[in-house]
Amino acid sequence: MPLPDKNKPRFATNETLWRTAMTVAVIAGLFSLALSTLLIANYVQVKAVNPLDNPEIIKLRLQLAQSQEPNPTLAEQIRVLDLLARKAFFTSQKQLQIGGYLLLGGVVVLALSLYLAGQSRPRLPLPDPNVPAPGYWTLRARARELIALGGFAWVICALVAAYTTRLDVPAPTAVTAQAGAQATEQPKGQAPAATPAVTWPDWATVKKNWPSFRGPGAYGVAQYTTAPVEWDVESGKNIKWKTDVPLPSPNSPVVWDNRVFMSGATPEKREIYCFDTDSGQLLWTFTLEKFPGTPDTPPKISEETSFAAPTMAVQGDRACAIFANGDVACVDFNGKLLWGKNLGVPENHYGHASSLIAFQNLLLIQYDQKANGRLIALDLSDGHEAYTVNRGIISWSSPACVETPAGFQLVLNSSKDVTSYEPLTGKQLWQLKCLSGEVAPSPAYGAGMFFVANDYATATAIKFAEGKTPPEPEIAWKYEDALPDTSSPVGTDTHFYISTARGEIVCLDAKTGTQAWMQEGEEGFNASPIVVGDRIYLVDRKGVVTIFKDSATFEKVGSPTLGEESFATPAFLDGRIYARTATKLICIAAG
């Protein structure tokens, strides 16, 4: 487009140049308006909804998860559809970011065309025979400024949307092939890596193991009733073995078949450990390398929380761990990385502490934080995001997954409320506001009710109207005296139990909430009580284990010690206890 002649008279016009410039300006303006609108609309849509949550894929995944027999054809169909969806998503998102550059170009062409149009048809200032009202020209000038500023703001919003559009959904193989991740200390003659499971353990198999914090379902009730009641670490009485743990952390042991898993971390290092249940031998240590998005600088956390506070989850042939920097990794029983990713550093002033839990084919993560808190479900097969539910309220609690008369419920505490979800879909079933403060204790279940508690708040029993679908919660009763700080409550058919940071143990009648008894000790509790048959086991900070009857009166069974400080909740299997102390893993077995 030719520039105007600088030597022509000042108010000479060029109609051809004016018409050309105005035509280009109109086209550039409409192009920029349409493109900017699309960029902003796309950003809002992707921010609100995961574009990869294809209803057809979700339906097939649920069908596969509920299948009792291997179905490789269905698994391959899901894989192909998921791959096509990801390719389409990433292609469209990258194209839309290229649209940001096109928008910049369109705005530049619009501005240049308007400038040339103005230069090609200058207006000679003439007195207006009709004198306008006072302030007329000022209003016109302000209107032009507002229009210009509005257009400028709209373009800036579109450009921000274009360059911040979500591109953080990793492809299934993006991290699985990570060359830097490695396993060390592998035993000689180790079998090759297991083939990824096509089907997942049923609930009966899960209950035979100790797959998560506080056992099957993560609500503190052991399925076996044969745990020892006396031992002596110093003399070795009823101690099957004890072994050193490389890095100290407060997370608890999880057990599947003949393997015990735990994690440990420092600001510089993140590790997963696998021990043999019969010998206590450390079979291997998996050391995490950086995933895409892993921060170079570790987050600031409190000393009590540590960089590996959450307890791992194990399901079938794989074990998963999460760390304070947002790294989550899934390994097989041979210490081989199956997949891993960084979820983003949680904005959490104590550090991330919520433990993991698995249900069928999903790894469920309570990722509560100051902003952008969410419940995340990752498919255990390859780590892809099955669903995400926004929460937005911070907590340090861990989820519980309970088989109730209304079906399985995934129940999460927050700093304001208790919320129940369908574990396979993330659909909210109910929510009840009854908590406050910095909530760390997790939900309990007993006598057909959920039970939640937190220091400086209240303890609340939640009952449900019969025959209601979805279930409708209501408060059965409240208790406000001795309340927990970090230790989670536990329930039986007749009582709920609370242990506090001040060393109190409280028994409440499940029907009425009446305090049956309170026992005061010398040391506080971080670990959570576990119901084993008609007994409750509770470890204090010094490692003393108080064993007492599930009874309306305090009946002490024993108080053996683990030999040193302990902040972890033991795992209870048939005739065995696996307990983590400050430096060791101990297996306690009678006989």
Domain containing residue 434: 182-589
Residues 279 and 387 in one domain: yes
What's the average model confidence in pLDDT over 13-19? 76
Residues 157 and 208 in one domain: no
What's the average model confidence in pLDDT over 119-125? 67
Q: What are the residues whose beta carbons fall under 8 Å from the beta carbon of 329, sequence distance 6 or more?
A: 181, 272, 286, 288, 291, 320, 321, 337, 339, 340
State residue 520's pLDDT score. Answer: 95
Query: pLDDT per residue over 556-582, tens digit each?
Result: 999 999 999 999 999 999 999 999 999
State residue 197's pLDDT score. Answer: 46
The number of folded domains in the chain is 2
Residues 372 and 471 in one domain: yes
State residue 180's pLDDT score. Answer: 35
Residues 109 and 199 in one domain: no
State residue 115's pLDDT score. Answer: 76
In this structure, the number of other CB atoms found within 10 A of the CB of residue 547 comes to: 19
Beta bridge partners of 578: 571, 587
Query: Does residue 55 carry a pLDDT above 80?
Result: no
Residues 312 and 372 in one domain: yes
Residues 388 and 523 in one domain: yes
pTM above 0.75, yes or no: no
* pLDDT-based confidence at residue 301 (cuts at 50, 70, 90): confident
Last residue of a domain, one of 109, 137, 164: 164
State residue 189's pLDDT score. Answer: 35
Domain assignment present for residue 267? The answer is yes
Instruction: Give whichever of 6-10, 48-52, 375-379, 454-458 has the largest mean pLDDT.
Output: 375-379
**Which of the pair, 291 or 150, is modelled with greater confidence?**
291
Residues 112 and 250 in one domain: no
Domain assignment present for residue 174? The answer is no
Query: Does residue 247 carry a pLDDT above 50?
Result: yes
Q: How far apart are CA 431 and CA 571, in angstroms?
A: 30
* pLDDT-based confidence at residue 175 (cuts at 50, 70, 90): very low
Q: Give how far Cα 172 sits from Cα of 75, 169, 253, 385, 445, Å.
A: 14, 9, 29, 10, 36
Residues 22 and 110 in one domain: yes
Domain assignment present for residue 169? The answer is no
Query: pLDDT per residue over 357-388, tens digit each?
Result: 999 999 999 999 888 889 999 999 999 999 99
What's the average model confidence in pLDDT over 496-504? 97
Q: Which two tokens stand for residue 350?
A: 């104590």
Identify whether the C-beta of residue 231 lies closer than 8 Å to the C-beta of residue 239: yes
148 exposed, middle or buried (CB, 10 Å; 0-12, 13-18, 19+)?
exposed
* pLDDT-based confidence at residue 343 (cuts at 50, 70, 90): very high
Last residue of a domain, one of 164, 197, 217: 164
Percent of the chain residues past pLDDT 90, beyond the cut: 58
Domain assignment present for residue 247? The answer is yes
Q: How far apart are CA 281 and CA 354, in angstroms?
A: 28
Residues 139 and 192 in one domain: no
Q: How far apart are CA 378 and CA 458, in angstroms?
A: 33
129 exposed, middle or buried (CB, 10 Å; 0-12, 13-18, 19+)?
exposed
Percent of the chain residues past pLDDT 70, beyond the cut: 75
Residues 202 and 155 in one domain: no
- SS3 call for 88: helix
Residues 349 and 469 in one domain: yes
Query: Quick one: which of 383, 423, 425, 379 has its CA closest to 403?
Result: 423
Domain assignment present for residue 201? The answer is yes
Look up residue 49 and give its DSSP letter. Answer: S
Query: Does residue 169 carry a pLDDT above 50?
Result: no
Identify whether the C-beta of residue 324 lies closer than 8 Å to the C-beta of residue 305: yes
Residues 423 and 541 in one domain: yes
Helix axes 136-164, 72-120, angle to 10 degrees: 150
Query: Does residue 32 carry a pLDDT above 80?
Result: no
What's the average model confidence in pLDDT over 135-161? 68
Domain assignment present for residue 9? The answer is no
Q: How far apart are CA 122 and CA 239, in angstroms?
A: 97
Residue 274: which CATH number? Answer: 2.130.10.10
Query: Quick one: which of 209, 193, 190 has its CA closest to 201?
Result: 209
Q: How far apart are CA 81 and CA 87, in angstroms?
A: 10
State residue 196's pLDDT score. Answer: 45
Domain assignment present for residue 409? The answer is yes
**Which of the pair, 267 or 160, is modelled with greater confidence?**
267
Last residue of a domain, one of 110, 131, 164: 164
Query: pLDDT per residue over 193-202, tens digit each?
Result: 444 444 799 9
Domain assignment present for residue 203? The answer is yes
